[in-house]
A and B are shown apart, each in its own frame.
Chain A
């Protein structure tokens, strides 16, 4: 089980420091909710897509947006039929099938959903999980919370691997000719194995000096080249969207 969406690259967005990248992601997601014009929503939808294309290539970009396609199709089919108030664009036997209002609502929701998904995926595709946690630590995420998040990211692939082992051994117990695996016994075995790890993990944390204070110098993350330019870009781009909102 792969928990990281990170794609190796040397693009300008890959070279960005994680802190301005987190700010960019959060600000961009917040500003989308303040949009009220066609231009603003179009930029909100296509900007993350364009950065993603330049950073991770067409294949990964398509993979991200194809996941959203069924949802977009349903929205396109349903909303114009539901929202029939306003100026009619297309009528059938005098009944309005599509109105300007319906089209606007569809566009607004698709742009919002696509923009937020795009900018979040962009962060996950261009930054390693551990670096995102380090970045959050720089924004004063408590040590215990960061430790828990790191442990979660370590345990998910391990438990995924453990489940595949349990599932394979359970499927061997089935009668000849039968396929699949018993779900309830498999997930019970996985849960028991996971719970048995809890006291051992707690002891391991103690052994490694959990609770000892680290000096501020040790926690410091080095600032990369063009650090302040990156901050400016990370803040100015989302906020400049307000000019076209």
Chain B
């Protein structure tokens, strides 16, 4: 495939995966008592990282979460979501790329997701001055649950999709 075709394919891949992440975030939203929400965002972010590697994961994961915040009426979190979910997908993709079939690596990737999401939101919302530490810490249990469940669902999704669409790896870059 020529470089021009490859660029068209990359743009399509990033656009569609970003839309998938945004739709996953928007279809199931359980409001949290302090104004945020719990969603399937991390499942899609993990899937993007497992299936397409760190760079597609970084762009699709970060942009998808930010678009969902902008569309869903939480624009003030868009930048923070972009950073947190982008880094989450990038690191998960890096870990999985090293040894994709190892269970230990998959567990490590899930642990990274939990640490980045819960720690990232806690740190950045406080740092950006959008809340205070004592209030941001209330979100941590919800974020831990969301990212841990998301990492497991993402893995199940990856296994299921790979069986249904054999040429999944051809799209990776």
Contacts and interface: CB of A to CB of B under 8 A. Distances in A.
Interface size class on chain B is 35 or more
Given A74-B138, A113-B131, A152-B18, A187 B11 contact: no
Given A70-B35, A205-B12, A124 B70 contact: yes
Given A192-B161, A194-B16, A152 B22 contact: yes
A56 interface: no
Interface stretch (A8-16, A89-97, A115-123, A215-223): A115-123
Interface stretch (A75-83, A133-141, A168-176, A231-239): A75-83
A214 interface: no
| Residue of A33, A109, A202 most packed against chain B (CB within 10 A) | A202
Contacts of B165: 192, 195-196
A109 B76 contact: no
B99 interface: no
Given A74-B34, A74-B35, A116-B76, A190 B135 contact: no
A210 B135 CA distance: 48
A108 B168 CA distance: 49
B164 A188 contact: yes
Contact of A78 (B24, B35, B75, B135): B135
Contact of A190 (B8, B18, B23, B171): B23
B63 interface: yes
A6 to B, nearest CB: 11
A187 B22 contact: no
Given A152-B19, A152-B22, A202-B12, A211 B7 contact: yes
Given A74-B138, A152-B63, A187-B40, A206 B14 contact: no
B5 to A, nearest CB: 6
A191 B161 contact: yes
B160 interface: yes
B12 A67 contact: no
A224 interface: no
Contacts of A184: 153, 156-157, 160
A179 to B, nearest CB: 16
B26 A160 contact: yes
Interface string B85-116: 00000000000000000000000000000000
| Residue of B8, B11, B40 most packed against chain A (CB within 10 A) | B8
A228 interface: no
Interface in A55-78: 64, 67-68, 70-71, 74-75, 78
27 contacts: A33-B129, A64-B73, A68-B35, A74-B135, A78-B132, A79-B132, A79-B134, A82-B134, A109-B132, A113-B76, A113-B130, A124-B75, A148-B15, A151-B16, A152-B15, A152-B18, A159-B19, A160-B23, A184-B160, A187-B40, A188-B160, A191-B20, A195-B161, A203-B8, A205-B8, A211-B4, A211-B8
